[in-house]
Structure 1
Amino acid sequence: MEVKIGVQHAPREIVIESKQTPDEVESAVSSALGSDSSVLGLEDEHGRKILVPADRIAYVEIGEPSGRKVGFGAI
């Protein structure tokens, strides 16, 4: 599943592919924003951890799984 995180005062968004379910991502975002936790932590499909300061999160977009793009003309 594709997750896009907009960060305040940053020109680009963070885009990751995650094996986590949409509910898991939503719960992680909610707990990071609603508690004293200062970091949103997610894991990408390769097992790497992505940590974002919770007070700098502008938005989080939870999308559908993206298909694999192959070839020069893949859009």
Structure 2
Amino acid sequence: MTKTLSFGVMHLITAFSVTYALTGSVAVAGAVTFVEPLANTVLHYFFDKYWDHPRAQAFRGRWRAGGARHAQQAG
């Protein structure tokens, strides 16, 4: 849990620093620092739900098979 919390703090500092460097605005950087992780969390929920969907599994299977074919042709 300590590693996860440390990464979370690092993410917030990075988000604030990059946004402040790009905009020069503490208000914008502060807003992005808290809105982005919230949006990311919501999107991750839906991403996680779709990940196990049969269409997503089929796509990953085709993608892996295509990569294996490409490696055989190159080798």
Per the normalisation by structure 2, the TM-score is: 0.25
Structure with a larger share of its residues in strand:
1
Structure with a larger share of its residues in helix:
2
Higher relative contact order (CA 8 A, sep 6+): 1
Q: Which has the larger radius of gyration?
A: 2
